[in-house]
Amino acid sequence: MRMLDGKVVMITGGARGMGAATARRCAAAGARVVVTDVLTEEGGATAKEVEGRFVEHDVTSQESWDRAVAATLEEFGRVDGLVNNAGIVVTASIEHHSLEDFERVLRVNLVGVFLGLKAVLAPMRAAGGGAIVNLSSVAGLTALPGTAAYGASKWGVRGLTKMAAQEYGSARIRVNSVHPGMIVTPM
């Protein structure tokens, strides 16, 4: 028996990079994988590769989250895992950062994680528990010059993860964050 046999795992930003690699690993461990992304062609290809399901999904939209979770529940009847991987980066010093870019990074990287938590907690509780992994970054552990919005969003992911772990641990829902360093991958 493989570690994730019978489990259903949603992976945001699963079209390429770390998300696609996570989809491959979860599928190899026996999970039924739901790849979500705004990149429909690449996302569909990743889902096909892992014999999973693709759902077009904008993590910044509550309605899009509702549709993605509903599609997962309709096809598989449960959500056991969520990997909040979707993310973007804009590099600029604080004085050269536009408010528009700052807010866009926060919407994808932090608000997207918040909406993901909100969307899967009830189905996970109904299933008797689950696991959520939020992708933060080394930028969520230490200051990296030129990453004001990205760093702020990843510090926020770290804090939100700790709050969710405290609030939902008693429901057998584990919530953790990982903090990779610089990885050469498309974003």
What phi and psi values does residue 37 have, to the nearest 5 degrees?
-175, 165
On the question of pLDDT at 118 being above 70, the answer is: yes
Counting residues of the chain whose pLDDT is more than 90, the rounded percentage is: 91
pLDDT digits (tens, 9 = 90+) for 128-161: 999 999 999 988 899 899 999 999 999 999 999 9
Q: What is the CATH number of the domain that holds 137?
A: 3.40.50.720
Q: Is residue 183 part of a domain?
A: no
Give the span between the Cα atoms of 12 and 113, in whole angstroms.
Answer: 10
On the question of pLDDT at 63 being above 80, the answer is: yes
DSSP-assigned states of every residue in the chain: --TTTT-EEEEETTTSHHHHHHHHHHHHTT-EEEEEES-HHHHHHHHHHTT-EEEE--TT-HHHHHHHHHHHHHHHS---EEEE-------B-GGG--HHHHHHHHIIIIIHHHHHHHHHHHHHHHTT-EEEEEE--GGGTS--TTBHHHHHHHHHHHHHHHHHHHHHGGGTEEEEEE---------
Q: What pLDDT, on a 0 to 100 scale, did the predictor assign at position 123?
A: 97
Angle between the N-to-C axes of helices 112-126 and 148-168, in degrees from 0 to 180, rounded to the nearest 10 = 20
Q: Is residue 185 part of a domain?
A: no
* Tally of domains in the chain: 1
Q: Is the whole model's pTM more than 0.85, yes or no?
A: yes
Catalytic residue among 65, 76, 102, 150: 150
Q: Is residue 93 part of a domain?
A: yes
Whether 150 is a known active-site residue: answer yes
On the question of pLDDT at 187 being above 70, the answer is: no
What phi and psi values does residue 16 have, to the nearest 5 degrees?
-155, 180
Q: Is residue 17 part of a domain?
A: yes
Q: Which two tokens stand for residue 124?
A: 């996970």
Confidence of residue 2 (pLDDT cuts 50, 70, 90): confident
Counting residues of the chain whose pLDDT is more than 70, the rounded percentage is: 99
Q: Which domain holds residue 104?
A: 8-178
